[in-house]
Structure 1
Amino acid sequence: RERQFNDLVQFVTDRTGRKRVNTKGQVRQSAWLRLFQLAWKPEHLELVSEMFPRWRDTGKSFGPVHAEMFARRCEELKCPLLALKVFGDHTKYGFGLNSLPAGRQLIHSLYGKYPLEKTMTAASLFGIYGLPAVGSDFVSCAMLYAACVRSRDPHARVVAESLKRQLTKQIVQTEAVREPKDRIQRAQHHTKPTLWLAQAIRQIKMAHGEQG
């Protein structure tokens, strides 16, 4: 796997950028997805992210599927701050948070384990990239609100109050969250937002219970 990764890194590097070392063969969009899959430690994803500008210099761009897989792999390899850094510096990397699922994944990877400011930074990227406002997306709103009510940051209460009305409205308008019990279903990517929402709601109830 390491050899496959290194070989593909070399292949992509030689055929991208302003001055290509090798003009034979083209790099397909799927090559990036393969690199994300082959990466098995944070350093691999760091290396791949440093190659992103070469794709833009070749006149190409990344799509939603790239954003989604990169955000997911960063969470799986426990380096979500790398995803936050890359999505937060489009001028350097040219790698946009151009997908709501990727935005949700980014928030999920941060809100339970990192200071509130990291989740707030991720939430601010929604507006920058033209995604729906965090408050209007039930899953993202619930996770951000959960982060706020559990935080001791003085600013957290202000943010929580601004989200509370929107979250309450969505809870009223939405049927009870039905969390899949089957292990195979729970492992599927398309069910993750439902699991994240259910988890965030439990955390919110627990936090409110502790706060009286």
Structure 2
Amino acid sequence: MKWIVGLGNPGTAYANTRHNAGFLVIDELARRFNMDVSTNKCKALIGETRLGDAKVALLKPMTYMNLSGESVRAFMDYYKVKLEDLIVVYDDLDTEVGRIRLRYQGSPGGHNGIKSIIQHTGTQVFNRVRIGISRPKPGMVISDYVLSPFAKAEYDDLRRMVEDACEAIEFSLNHSFEQTMAKYNARSSDA
């Protein structure tokens, strides 16, 4: 089973914030796959479907960002899924708005959701799609920034990022993550 976990915070107060970029991608994938992501299980909202030969699950952890690993671990244990079939989608301060970056390993880089997943899985090796949110202007508190909505001037870039992330994830269902990185990291750098 391929499983895609979008990171974010539950509740309408966080719905369109930068920190919920992962949820935005899951919502768009659900629309594209004609899936309902509403089953409450494993501390997450989950949707499952079959796409060709692949069984695919979409997850939105409901644990709040800093505890995302609890949901990932619960899903792993319940479904007996492999980490190499996981893709985590999350917001990234070090990537510009309008760009996505794919990686298959690395430190959390200050991202508490990724830190939690590393703690609960015991490894830094898992596939990631980072959604660019850029860094805030000097003097702005990071936590306030990531919990703020995207600016209206960023909406076109946001839409393009979500589309690019969905295309990369769809491509990865039938290709290796290395092939996916080669194709979509190069494309994102040309944007």
TM-score, structure 1 length as denominator? Answer: 0.30
Q: Which has the higher strand share?
A: 2
Q: Which has the higher helix share?
A: 1
Structure with higher RCO (Cα < 8 A, 6+ apart): 2
Larger gyration radius, structure 1 or structure 2: 1
